[in-house]
Amino acid sequence: MDYAFEKDWNTLVAKMTDRFGEEPDVTTMVFAVGLQEAGQGARRDKKDEKMDLMHVGVCTLLEPLGYYLRKGEDEDGWPHFTVGDPLPALSPSEQETMMKRALLDYFAAWIGREVEENKRVD
């Protein structure tokens, strides 16, 4: 990983820690994206709703890369996606890096960073 990426990642983690009171992992950040996109706010969710929010977060983050396409929203305001391009076969480490880069792009304005073109990992 490069210096700018590490710096931006550390900035995002620090801002999320300040906001939520503890240091989040990637999964927690993806869940936060799902909450944001589904317009759900902080609440106690059932296990299946948490999984749905994670799915919304993943789809939202990978949409700019072409892996998912947003179809619209249902009557409850939940976003729905279709599968786009096939995801490449990635190692767990490569998957985490891809998600971190997508999170940085999603939160770019919040951390004071220009949105960079995500590089697809093929």
| pTM, full prediction | 0.85
70 located within any domain = yes
Which pLDDT does position 122 carry in this prediction? Answer: 44
Write phi, then psi, for 70 (nearest 5 degrees): -75, 125
- 48-72 as b/e: b if 16+ CB within 10 A: eeeebbbbbbbbbbbbebebbeeee
Residue 90 or residue 119, greater confidence: 90
- Asked if residue 39 belongs to a domain, the reply is yes
Residue 117 belongs to some domain of the structure: no
- The count of domains in the chain is 1
Q: How far is CA 91 from the centre of its chain?
A: 18
Residue 118 lies in a domain: no
Q: Burial level of 77, CB count in 10 A (0-12/13-18/19+)?
A: exposed
Residue 122 counted as domain residue: no
Tell me the residue range of the domain where 50 lies: 3-111
More confident residue, 49 or 12: 12
Residue 54 DSSP label: H
Asked if the structure places residue 119 within a domain, the reply is: no
Would you say residue 119 has pLDDT above 60?
no
What pLDDT does 15 receive? 94
* Residue 96 resides in a domain: yes
The Cα–Cα gap between 57 and 85 comes to 17
**pLDDT tens digits, residue range 19-51?**
989 999 999 999 999 999 988 665 565 777 889
Q: How many CB atoms lie within 10 A of CB 101?
A: 20
Q: What pLDDT is attached to residue 91?
A: 97
Work out the angle at residue 13's Cα, subtended by the Cα atoms of residues 44 and 7, and round it to the nearest 5 degrees: 160
Alpha helices (H) in the chain, listed in sequence order: 3-20, 26-38, 47-62, 92-106, 108-111
The answer as to whether 40 is a domain residue is yes
